[in-house]
Amino acid sequence: MSPGKITVREAISQALWEEMEADPKVFIMGEEVGVWGGTYAVTKGFYDHFGPKRVKDTPIAEAAIVGGAIGAALTGLRPVAELMTINFAFSAMDHIVNEAAKLHYMFGGQFVLPLVIRAVGGGGRQLGATHSQTPDAVFAHFPGLKVVAPGTPADAKGLLKSAIRSDDPVLFIEHATLYQQRGEVPEGDFTVPIGRSTVQRQGKDVTIVTYSKMLEISQKAAEQLSVEGIEAEIVDLRTLRPLDMEPVIESVKKTNRAVVVEEGWKSFGVGSEVAARIYEQAFDYLDAPVQRVAQLEVPLPYNRNLEQLALPKPEWVIKAVREVL
């Protein structure tokens, strides 16, 4: 499989197209996914190729989208339900956390739920406080629901293909500002296993744990730190539930220092969970307290300057690294 450089948008589109070609039970449903080709142009051309039975435009009703997808999954289809933004998932919260996440368990394993919910998350696009949130930790809280948030084109394609093939419900979070990011993506039937963290950058002085958009921010910070002779190792979680801490713990045992970087708010967030597990599993290896970098604790402003002031940036990561060193 030779790699090629494509965008995150193209990677997601390829994954959807290939899985729909391979399995007639896979179909897409959501607002403007058909004739319009998707709010972020991910499904452009799908309607003409696969037709209205497999690319379904829906009303503006997230509860209906997710509820309908759950019903389809229970009867043997493999729906990919697109939510225009993860903020709208709150309108379907009961379906997601009380039905999709629990039906397999509550019926003693008699049903499987091969359901993927694609949702755009994150800030940085001036969409206002109610459309720019990063509530990943909220959904990762619930057992029975897999939560995936890739930070590279390769992981976006490989993880989405794995999600579509999974018999479990998966919330697949795509960051709003990553669609144009380019990277190497292997060609052919390429998949990435759900629930496996990975080391994206080797280092010896400090471990940076992150995921999604913050991988890019952390990599920029690591490059600047490298100029000063500080080599940061970056562990990309990729999946928030199930959370794979093994590469994190192994890295911390090597570097003896950790910084956790997330876009969501620090209070009760992904970073809180990761830091707690580091303390539980690698306390004796730490030479400094774990530092956390996160969005400022305010509803994200619409004004571009204020929005950028609230979002984590490489300078914040560099400051946290210097503190643990």
Structural contact between residues 301 and 129, judged by C-beta atoms closer than 8 angstroms = yes
Which pair of structure tokens corresponds to residue 191? 């998949």
Residue 320: partners with Cβ closer than 8 Å, 6 or more residues away: 259, 261, 291, 292, 293
Cβ-based neighbour number of residue 129 at 10 Å: 14
Cβ-based neighbour number of residue 18 at 10 Å: 18
What count of Cα atoms within 13 Å lies in the side-chain half-sphere of residue 163?
31
Q: Classify strands 258-265 and 206-210 as parallel, antiparallel or unpaired.
A: parallel
Helix (H, G, I), strand (E, B) or coil at 134: coil
DSSP for residue 36? S
Could you give the CA distance from residue 87 to residue 134 in angstroms, rounded to a whole number?
A: 8
Could you give the CA distance from residue 160 to residue 80 in angstroms, rounded to a whole number?
A: 10
Residue found by looking up tokens 């319009």 in the block: 36
Could you give the CA distance from residue 270 to residue 157 in angstroms, rounded to a whole number?
A: 23
Query: Active-site residue among 131, 174, 273, 307?
Result: 131
Is 131 one of the annotated active-site residues of the chain? yes
Helix (H, G, I), strand (E, B) or coil at 148: strand
Q: Point out which residues pair with 120 in neighbouring strands.
A: 174
Residue found by looking up tokens 């399995």 in the block: 23
Could you give the CA distance from residue 212 to residue 152 in angstroms, rounded to a whole number?
A: 8
Q: How far apart are the first and last CA of the chain?
A: 41
Is 62 one of the annotated active-site residues of the chain? yes
Query: Active-site residue among 10, 31, 62, 233?
Result: 62
Question: How distant, in Å, are the alpha carbons of 19, 164, 235, 290 from that of 185?
Answer: 16, 18, 19, 33
**Residues tagged active-site:** 62, 131
